[in-house]
Amino acid sequence: MASPHAPVDRFLKGINTADLELMLSAFASDAEVIDDGKSFTGDAITALNAVPRPEGLDAKSASVMGIAWLTAYRMLFTQAKVRAGQTVLVQGSSGGVTTALIQMGSAAGFRVWTTGRTKAKRELASSLGAERTFEPSAKLPFLVDAVFDPAGASTISHSLSSVKPGGTVVSCGIHSEGGSSDVTIDLLHLMANQITLTGVYTGTRDEFVNLLDFVTAAGIKPYIGKVLPLERATEGLRDIWEGKTNGKIVIEI
């Protein structure tokens, strides 16, 4: 029986593992495979976590599919269950999850609205496919079918007040307000309007495969804000920590 693990001839720490070329018995000898993009700190990756990189999806694009894009995919297509032509609000305009939500939502035929703290961030959202952009906490022209909230404490009240009766609010982060998870919710508003409030913490392997197929078929070019050599990886981590990133950061080896 073939081993479910294969040795890795490159040892990477703290970056996405999307373009590791592993010789796994489950794949053709020339297949390029990727896992779900978590930081890699060990000496092997289980074959069960590796999937072929689709033709048409370049290495840089594949490298950002894990975590942020997988989370966004689950938010859009598993939890919210919105349909083409419906209107959705994305809380944010420039982060890894928010840019993925904008690009995939637009490609799926949703009317994507976003909020953004600065004009530059709102313009970025528009360039990625957002139909309309607003300042944070702005009153919307009408209530939307679903809201995607990666921020948390500072935006959840606005998210709940912006969704129509029977709509869905999907949360995936607690990045605002110093990472606080303590929020106050008007339960009467939630119940009276039959709003669904749900959370997402990345996705499944099957969803990862579906994500790769969707991005490839739709011809989406994932937004990458910065590409850095390995020796400047700390610069990228510093940008993330200080909230200076747009889209994803890729480290080249």
pLDDT for 1 equals 35
Question: Measuring CA to CA, which residue among 184, 182, 176 is closest to residue 152?
Answer: 176
- Give me the count of residues in the chain: 253
Return all residues near 207 (Cβ < 8 A) that are at least 6 apart.
Answer: 70, 73, 74, 77, 78
Q: If DSSP codes are grouped into helix, strand and coil, which group holds residue 72?
A: helix
pLDDT for 154 equals 86
Instruction: Give start-end residues of each CATH 3.90.180.10 domain in the chain.
Output: 5-65+205-252, 77-199
The CATH number of 77-199, from 3.60.21.10, 3.40.50.2300, 3.40.640.10, 3.90.180.10, is 3.90.180.10
Q: Give 226's strand partners.
A: 249
Please count the other Cβ atoms lying within 10 Å of the Cβ belonging to residue 14: 11
pLDDT along the chain (253 residues), means of 10: 34 38 41 54 70 92 93 96 96 95 98 97 98 97 98 90 98 66 88 96 93 97 94 91 87 88
pLDDT for 182 equals 78
pLDDT for 65 equals 94
If you classify domain 5-65+205-252 with CATH, what class do you get? alpha beta
CA distance 102 to 68: 12
CA distance 72 to 112: 13
pLDDT for 18 equals 42
Q: Give 49's strand partners.
A: none
pLDDT for 7 equals 33
